[in-house]
Amino acid sequence: MTKVFTLAHLSDPHLPMPQAGMLQLLNKRATGYYNWWRNRVHLHVPGALAGIVADIEAQQPDHIALTGDLVNVALPQEYRRAAEWLAAFDSPDRITVIPGNHDVYVPVPWSESLGLWGAYMAGDGQPPATGFDVFPTLRRRDGIALIGLSTGVPKPPLLATGDLGSGQIARAEKLLAETGREGLCRIVLIHHPPLTDQLRWKHLNDASSFQAMIRRVGCEAILHGHNHRSEFARIAGPDGPVPVLGVSSASAARESKYGRARYHLIHIDRDGAGWRLAVQVRALKSDNSGCEPDGDFVFHSAGGLAMVA
């Protein structure tokens, strides 16, 4: 009997904001910093994130996927805090991280920013990531191919859009084709939802090009964050619809506009010549002590998405 592989997917933890110096706020950070202390500090709370992490640790998944937005306005001290948080969570071989738009809020030297998490973004057998040119990344785990993409690009104030770029899309197509020929279950990790019906100020600019690539080579599922909600969509693949699964913010306060924090526990196993993915939405309990089931979905690699509970 084939072993079931369990993947925990969380996103957008938005770790608490440290105090910033005046000189650090002489750019786009100023608006984000103000917005945090006026609004977002009440939306993203450490207790909620701690409850999500505790539940993931109790569930003991085979791997953890974190699809971006660990920080808020790209302060150097935020990256250091995030590196410490990741190290306390689990080791780089157990967590795959990709960047979100807040992780590249403004340009910061790689060694002072994402480079501090480089080991969590590196592909198998590679040294810690040294720049955005490492994407797409590939990690193989028990018949599963985790393919990480980067959509984060510094943008002007009030914009939260993302870009893949034609080069990254071309490299991803080659990687998906190769892992498809190997018979692996291909899970794409991306921060921005690769959909064309998103709000213009926060959408993925080249979603249409990404979808065209998926129509050519396919994959078994696409996991994203960014919208801070558990949501499910489909895009066309060469053998049928491909599920696009968004997850809530892992630090969302119960009373926030996003509702309580959630993550997805995904059980992956063989289904004849294809794959079966059963997704359990796990939501934070009222006392933040862990999570409880909050819906289940199951889909097959060429059979679309069906809600079963």
Per the structure, the complete domain to which residue 50 belongs is given by 5-307
**What pLDDT sits at residue 305?**
57
Q: Which residues contact 189 (CB under 8 A, 6 or more apart)?
A: 65, 67, 96, 98, 146, 147, 148, 149, 223, 224
The answer to whether the peptide bond before residue 99 is cis (omega within 30 degrees of 0) is no
- CATH number of the domain that residue 206 is part of: 3.60.21.10
Rounded CA-CA distance 221/28 in Å is: 34
What is the full per-residue pLDDT of the chain (309 aa) written as tens digits? Answer: 357 999 999 999 999 999 999 999 999 999 999 999 999 999 999 999 999 999 999 999 999 999 999 999 999 999 999 999 999 999 999 999 999 999 999 999 999 999 999 999 999 999 999 999 999 999 999 999 999 999 999 999 999 999 999 999 999 999 999 999 999 999 999 999 999 999 999 999 999 999 999 999 999 999 999 999 999 999 999 999 999 999 999 999 998 999 999 999 999 999 888 999 999 999 999 999 999 999 999 988 765 555 554
**What pLDDT sits at residue 306?**
55
**What pLDDT sits at residue 269?**
95
**What pLDDT sits at residue 304?**
57
Domain total in the chain = 1
**What pLDDT sits at residue 2?**
59
Compute φ and ψ for 143, nearest 5 degrees: 85, 0
Pairing mode, if any, of strands 262-271 and 5-10? antiparallel
B/e letters for 216-252, b = 16+ CB within 10 Å, e = fewer, are: ebbbbbbbbbbbbbbeebbbebeeeebbbbbbbbbbb
**What pLDDT sits at residue 133?**
95
